[in-house]
Structure 1
Amino acid sequence: MVSPFAAVPAAVVDDAVLLHVGNPLREQRALEGGEAVVPRADRSVLTVAGEDRLTWLDSLTSQALAALAPGVSTELLVLDPNGHVEHAAGVVDDGERTWLVVDREDAEGLLAWLTRMRFRLRVDPQDVSADFGVVGGTASAVATLGDGVVAVWRDPWPDVAIGGWGYAAVDPHPAAARDWSEAIVTTSTLDRLASEAERGERRLAGVLAAEALRVAAWRPRVAAEADGRTLPHEVDWLRTAVHLSKGCYRGQETVAKVHNLGHPPRRLVALQLDGSDAMLPEPGAEVRAGGEPVGAITSVARHHEEGPIALALVKRTTAVDAPLTVAVDGGEVTAAQEQIVPPEAGRTAAVPRLPRLSRRR
């Protein structure tokens, strides 16, 4: 796969993904300010056509979709029978077909599963990534993309959707002012954006900048936070992707039991990493408390204001004020944790709201 952005000045491309264009920290500020857009070759695009598409997706997934209005954005999860996250997708319908924005690593598996579940219904799931790509940015930034935009998915995070539930017990949420949309565009539009950037007429950012903003917003992603045994409760995904009072779907029994009667075994935390060392941990790196392993890093980034930050899944019983360390090549770094999902999440779901500490260095 060849990226049309490889010839952009200072571009660094890996596996067709534009990582950055010279300065990821500056690119973060440009993205937040609506001054740049980011080509998301790490995303794929699926569509579902057919008269039964919304009721069919409603019956299979965690989200209430049967009455989804054209142009309204939401998010769905596909769970296994035990309630673990298998797939996730951003969802927007245009009145004729439903567009699904998914992590590239997840697209093949999700399409295969949807295809198996068609039965005799009037639905036609397809991977259209050869003809369409994804470009992210603020709503105002993606509005400048012009012709070639076929749909726009507005990320609902961190708003608590109808039927959802937010576990994060901080006020305000770090993503309260988050403005993020992803436009589905034709491949010819991607070529045009690349040409504009080469001529200096279009400002681009790379995926590293977009990922740093995601991590700072505590926003889960299936390619990072879903390890095959992740429950949506553990990463606060009930907030945007689960409707707790909709009809039956695979994994619903576990979702209801954990939310109403139990506690998820792990919880997502935000980590501020010791910035004195240039070494960043890798996803999967061991998180320790008192020298004992208590979890693992799921995402890591350098933020333009907060410095080295990460998301990690740790045991529910890990003390919220426990000093943590994270394994890096040849040693470890210290990490200050900030509570995202509280240990009480689940049976005592109505946890008190806490004032949010400053996360700036």
Structure 2
Amino acid sequence: MSSPLLTRPGAVAAGGPDQGVAAHYGEPVAEQRALVRGIGLTDLSHLGVVTVTGPDRLTWLHSLATQQLSGLTPGDSVETLLLDVHGHIEHAAAVLDDGECTWLVTEAGHADALATFLDSMRFMLRVEVRRAEEVAVLGTSADGPTLRLRDGSAPLRWVDPWPAVGEGSSAYGTVTDHPGTERSAVLWLVPREQLVDVVDDATGAGARLAGVTAWEALRVAAWRPRLAREVDERALPHELDWLRTAVHLSKGCYRGQETVARVFNLGKPPRRLVFLHLDGSDHITPEHGEPVLADGREVGRLTSVARHHELGPIGLALLKRSLAVDAELTVGTVAASQEEIVAPEGFGTGRPDPIDRAGLRRPR
């Protein structure tokens, strides 16, 4: 489904998981700066929205997901993962409840599968799952333009919790000054038939349209994992530092919980997410999915790539956990240096002290 905003002057269509909306409107760098300044507005209407209604919805979702959802109050913004039995990530969603309905926002290519999976798990519970194709998503910064519907009311608003470490969660990096604190992303749920009117009202009041290229550059700079980019069939939440906002380590049983607990307690997930500074001197930007090499051997793959308005070409990559932080890397013909996101030691904060052979806990 293509967005009507693709007809705006200068609009260039995006590809890959962002197909259907604009990559940019002619000035991607200026559009990034507009988002940073709080006047940017990004068309994310390609994202999928799934609704769950019924009196059992929160306790039921709580039993399936990695996040604490049973006590979710109207207006709270959280995110959650759904795992397979081996603890690998299958789905990720922004979660918002309005008191009567729980809204799940996910990748365009995953919405149908998410709805199908949830529907298959209903059994005799009083819940109803539906793909809400009549709802579109817009993105702003938290202090950005306030959007209004035709009746003057504000749309439902989800505030990204990244990178704050939630209660019962854990961080897998040692950085204290996390760059994600400089980004404050908000998703707005708008009736699709009002999408153009909402955008026109906002731009008429001074907002500026910014494409997904700008949105993605700020995400990558914030070290924020994305389901459509960082996740493959082997991805564990620990490898991506995704426990900090999407996993509650003390909640009840859910599919994949044993793996989450085991890796957290034992440490050392197989891979680790890193931030890459890419050499931009030859104006060559590698492609998503390209192998990352160290001394000519493959040590991982590039998961995301962007051109930031201040940092230049940047990326995220999943590498072997044991690879040295100062290893010289190349992506294709482009030289790269890594910045630690997930620590090579592979231990999360709050991990219990290991137990020695005598059965006593010893300090790490």
TM-score (norm 1): 0.92
Shift of 1:150: 3.5
Q: Does 1:7 align with 2:7?
A: yes
**Aligned partners of 1:101 and 1:148: how far apart in 2?**
21
Q: 1:144 to 1:216 in 2, by over 3 A?
A: same
Q: Which shifted more, 295-304 or 181-190?
A: 181-190
Contact 2:77 2:95 in 1 (8 A): yes
Q: 1:183 to 1:17 in 2, by over 3 A?
A: same
Contact 1:77 1:87 in 2 (8 A): yes
**Aligned partners of 2:174 and 2:97: how far apart in 1?**
32
SS at match of 2:117: helix
Match of 1:99 in 2: 103
Shift of 1:178: 2.1
Q: 1:200 to 1:65 in 2, by over 3 A?
A: closer
Question: Match for 2:147: what amino acid?
Answer: T
Q: How does 1:139-288 map to 2 (within 5 A)?
A: 139-146=142-149, 147=152, 149-193=154-198, 195=200, 202-288=207-293
Match of 1:316 in 2: 321
**Aligned partners of 1:302 and 1:2: how far apart in 2?**
25
**Aligned partners of 2:244 and 2:267: how far apart in 1?**
18
**Aligned partners of 2:105 and 2:154: how far apart in 1?**
14
Gaps of 5+ in 1: 351-361
Contact 1:167 1:349 in 2 (8 A): no
Q: How does 1:131-142 map to 2 (within 5 A)?
A: 131-142=134-145
Match of 2:29 in 1: 25
SS at match of 1:166: coil
SS at match of 2:119: helix
Contact 2:173 2:348 in 1 (8 A): no
Shift of 1:263: 1.3
SS at match of 2:144: helix
Shift of 1:197: 8.0
Shift of 1:347: 7.3
Match of 1:358 in 2: none
Match of 1:118 in 2: 122
Shift of 1:3: 1.9
Q: 1:211 to 1:224 in 2, by over 3 A?
A: same
Q: 1:250 to 1:52 in 2, by over 3 A?
A: same
Shift of 1:143: 1.8
Percent same amino acid at aligned positions? Answer: 53
Q: 1:184 to 1:199 in 2, by over 3 A?
A: closer
Match of 2:304 in 1: 299
* Cα deviation digits, residues 170-200 of structure 1 (max 9, x gap): 1200112321110111113312145558979
TM-score (norm 2): 0.91
CA RMSD of aligned residues (A): 1.8
Shift of 1:349: 6.7
Gaps of 5+ in 2: 352-364
Match of 1:52 in 2: 56
**Aligned partners of 1:241 and 1:221: how far apart in 2?**
12
**Aligned partners of 1:52 and 1:314: how far apart in 2?**
41
Shift of 1:262: 3.2
Contact 1:168 1:339 in 2 (8 A): yes
Shift of 1:41: 2.6
* Cα deviation digits, residues 12-69 of structure 1 (max 9, x gap): 1244211111111110110111112101033111110000000000000100100011
Question: Match for 1:134: what amino acid?
Answer: V
Contact 2:171 2:348 in 1 (8 A): no
**Aligned partners of 1:348 and 1:149: how far apart in 2?**
38
**Aligned partners of 1:301 and 1:265: how far apart in 2?**
25
Shift of 1:105: 1.2
Q: Which shifted more, 266-275 or 6-15?
A: 6-15
Shift of 1:342: 0.8
